[in-house]
Amino acid sequence: MYQSGIIKLRLEFEDEKSPYLLDISSLLYDFELLHDFTILVSAEEYSSYRFSQYFWYRKGRPLRDEQKLRALKIVKESPLTIELGLSILAISSGAIWILIQAVEKIANFKLNREKLKAEIEKLHLETKILRYNEQEARIEMERRLYERKASEVLDTLLKRMQANPIKLRDIDLSGDVTDFKNSK
């Protein structure tokens, strides 16, 4: 079960018996950076945020507590599974589209794209907040990246994630819109 007011993002990675702790911590931190990047680029309230070297620091991104990525569950068995909680802002601002597009660009992540697309479409229909189809969201993402001069930051994040030896095998999105309405 997930907490009220968030979307659950479950990530399952390829089976590796004893990965290096550095690889796991880097993976977690890079996902945190990717999430924060998508919020900073997508949400109007951060339109004045300027990307600098401070973006890469642990406390270098000015997200409000309720917008930060939450760790709901981390299971280091076979396979490594991580459940993260995304704020409703990730859905309403279109940040989820940037996050999913970025994950799809990471060459070593082998995803079931049809399943992922169906889950996103389900969220789209349930919430009616996602007002863009995939093409419009991609164009909007590219426009925002250009305006915010953030393409280089995204490219660096993608390269870092591609270099990590831990490979994503599956990704699931879930949530109940009624919880979002009741949590406000």
Judging by beta carbons within 10 Å of its beta carbon (0-12, 13-18, 19+), is residue 133 exposed, middle or buried? exposed
DSSP labels, 100-157: HHHHHH-TT----HHHHHHHHHHHHHHHS---S-HHHHHHHHHHHHHHTT-HHHHHHH
Stated pTM of the model = 0.71
Which pLDDT score is estimated for 180?
37
Per the CB < 8 A criterion, the answer to whether 18 and 96 are in contact is no
Tens-digit pLDDT profile for residues 17-76: 788 889 999 999 999 999 999 899 888 899 899 999 999 999 999 999 988 998 999 988
Alpha-carbon distance 162 to 123, whole Å?
27
Judge whether residue 89 has pLDDT over 50: yes
User: Where is average pLDDT lowest: 8-12, 110-114, 149-153, 162-166?
Assistant: 110-114
Q: Which residue has the higher pLDDT, 127 or 36?
A: 36
Rg (CA), the chain: 16
Paired residues of 7 in beta bridges: 86
